[in-house]
Amino acid sequence: MTTAAAVRTAATREAYGPTLVKLADAGVDLVALDADLAASTGGDKLGRAHPDRWYTVGAAEANMIGMAAGLAAAGKVVYAASFAVFLPGHCFDQIRVSIAQPKLNVKLIASHGGVSVGEDGASAQAVEDLALMTSLANMRVVVPADVVETELALTAAAYSDGPIYIRMGRPKIPVIHDERHEFRIGKAHLARPGDDVTVVACGLLVGAAIEAADALAAEGVSVRVLNMSTIKPLDEAALAAAAAETGAIVTAEEHSVIGGLGGAVARWLALNAPVPMEQVGVQDRFGESGAWTQLLERHGLTARGVGDAVRRVLARKA
Amino acid sequence: MTTLTSLETLQETARRIRRHIVEMTHAAQSGHPGGSLSAVEILTALYFGGVLRHDPARPDWPDRDRFVLSKGHATPVLYAALAEAGYFDTALLPSFRRLDSPLQGHVVRGTPAGVEMSGGALGMGLSFCLGQALAARIDGAPWRCYCLLGDGELNEGQNWEAAMAAAHFGLDGVTAIVDRNRFQNDGPEAEIMRMDPLAEKWRAFGWRVIEIADGHDVRQVIAALEEAKGVTGRPQVVIAPTHKGKGVSFMEENPAGWHGKGPSDEQLAQALADLGFGGGAADNGSEA
């Protein structure tokens, strides 16, 4: 399922342009907007294939969101893309009032999520976007684990009416899925079976969690890995089963420990199935410049960081 | 639905809309009468003066022209105009701002039918209109999108992002109207944030600017909006000088005091008298 394909690497954002072109070729009545970052999001590929379906609005994210809302209200399937620091960071109120509240059919595509942006530093590293977006009623939030899942998520969004936020990343990371992978909005994917503890991960931490699970297996620890690529709505059935069957949870994400996947899982567990839980994430701090791999190390967003959290939670497990 | 409507009929409609505005904000003891009263002739021109292609029986008619209230706090004038046009019963108006009423304090898309877009956070409506006009252009559809902006609202930077983009994309299906009452929440625009020279700003952004002398002369508003329809290749803005609180003596005299509150019983009686509904508060029939 995963090891054979793991030699290939790709950035999740690489899925964006080609998927838009496929959707437009397939007859989806879509319009995509960029805000002067098309070279990084890849949205301009749609513009070359279907010039009347892609527009860059300049470095003006607030206006892009409003335009997206207007297009959606006229029946278009709309994709609006930028960096995760700007979308939602530059235009949260526009998303709130113009898209989420009226529940318009806009797909918010945020590239360059998390600290793995690297050298651009703190201002460019979104570690709060999931907190902002999960806080909005009517908004769904997805963080795909690799390029394969990103294409599936972008495609599923086209055929699922309503607002959705999909976060992509900058660096090339291992491709952990092949063409048999199935993705459904709101459905967790069992990346590794296991009985002693469950790691609930999203984004590039899914690959790290799988690596950790493999390492811990050698120590006799059976780690379940759930790819919770949809953070909202959470797959509550998968969480309930994980809590009941493994009795300990670790969340892992490239985001602040406040308000993202860990926050959502902690809330659900506290209300429904309290079991020991640990978090792998950014510890309420800003990022900084550095190579993306160095930054992942610094924040513990690695297989080793996941393994450490697993040991901590197992020590608390009754 | 262009029909020849006499000036007298339009003025009478405007007077009824004003009555609804003061009665709604009185009943709610909140809401925004000043900036609603300043926009009465603008909405009268749009909905009753043959400017908008619309059909109250089919609020989701795909080829209707869209009207977006970007100054989304001025719901009293929008609800009153929609009710008078027949989108819903005027009997609903007293429920304004009450729990479970479709007449929310600030605009909510589709609530009730006829409200094209949500708002209330300023500066967002024009961008929405750009998206609407772009969709119409992609589809080769004939409809247009109108946006009512407050002049205080123009402090918000998103308007100018939208102004840039509308001209850049040559969206001639967008017509903005500025309700130029020269007051904003905290006071006179000249003191809070000066917008002059306003016409030059829009021109510099690439818009066709149509300035009228009196935003309370419904004929001037209609003429300007009809002129805008003929402009090709660029968006248009009609700048309409108005008075905040127009038609109600004590609001006209103190516009800064009537941005966001409802009149008392005595003030309602005075307002109705000012509007020529002589009986005062007791005479609350809607058939006048």
Question: pLDDT band at B4, cuts 50/70/90?
Answer: low
Q: A-side interface with B, Cβ within 8 Å?
A: 31, 52-53, 55, 57-58, 60, 62-76, 78, 93-94, 96-98, 101-102, 104
pLDDT tens string B163-190? 999 999 999 999 999 999 999 999 999 9
Residue A136 is predicted with a pLDDT of: 98
Assign A138 to helix, strand or coil. Answer: coil
pLDDT tens string B70-96? 999 999 999 999 999 999 999 999 999
Instruction: Give me the percent of chain A exceeding a pLDDT of 70.
Output: 98
Residue B2 is predicted with a pLDDT of: 41
- Region A90-100: mean pLDDT is 98
Render chain B in DSSP notation, one character per residue: ------HHHHHHHHHHHHHHHHHHHHHHT-S--HHHHTTHHHHHHHHHSS-S---TT-TT-TTSPEEEESSTT-HHHHHHHHHHHTSS-GGGGGGTTSTT-S--SS-BTTBSTT------STT-HHHHHHHHHHHHHHHT----EEEEEETTGGGSHHHHHHHHHHHHTT-TTEEEEEEE--EETTEEHHHH----SHHHHHHHTTPEEEE-S-TT-HHHHHHHHHHHHT--SS-EEEEEE--TTTT-HHHHH-GGGGSS----HHHHHHHHHHTT-TTGGG---S--
Question: pLDDT band at A99, cuts 50/70/90?
Answer: very high
Q: Chain B partners of A63 at a C-beta cutoff of 8 Å?
A: 127, 130, 158, 161-162, 164-165
Are A100 and A92 within 8 A, CB to CB? Answer: no
Residue B5 is predicted with a pLDDT of: 79
pLDDT tens string B30-60? 999 999 999 999 999 999 999 999 999 999 9
Give chain B's mean pLDDT: 95
Residue B281 is predicted with a pLDDT of: 46
Instruction: Give me the percent of chain A exceeding a pLDDT of 90.
Output: 97
CB contact under 8 A, A62 and B158: yes
Q: Chain A partners of B165 at a C-beta cutoff of 8 Å?
A: 57-58, 60, 63, 67
Q: Using CB atoms, which residue from B132, B136, B162 is nearest to A63?
A: B162
pTM for the whole thing? 0.96
- Region A288-298: mean pLDDT is 98
B3, pLDDT greater than 60: no
Q: Using CB atoms, which residue from A60, A71, A93 is nearest to B134?
A: A71
pLDDT tens string B245-259? 999 999 999 999 999
Residue B287 is predicted with a pLDDT of: 41
Burial degree of A91 (CB within 10 A; 0-12, 13-18, 19+): buried
Q: Is B124 on the interface with A (CB under 8 A)?
A: yes
B1, pLDDT greater than 50: no
Pull the structure tokens for residue A286: 């800003």
Helix axes A236-246, A261-272, angle to 10 degrees: 70
pLDDT tens string B265-274? 999 999 999 9
Q: Chain A partners of B114 at a C-beta cutoff of 8 Å?
A: none
Question: pLDDT band at A7, cuts 50/70/90?
Answer: confident
Nearest-by-CA chain A residue for B61: A74
- A297 classed as catalytic: no
Instruction: Give me the percent of chain B exceeding a pLDDT of 90.
Output: 94
Nearest-by-CA chain A residue for B137: A52
Q: Chain B partners of A104 at a C-beta cutoff of 8 Å?
A: 109
Residue A282 is predicted with a pLDDT of: 98
Residue B279 is predicted with a pLDDT of: 59
User: One of A14, A61, A119, A128 is an active-site residue; which one?
Assistant: A61
B288, pLDDT greater than 60: no
Question: pLDDT band at A5, cuts 50/70/90?
Answer: very low
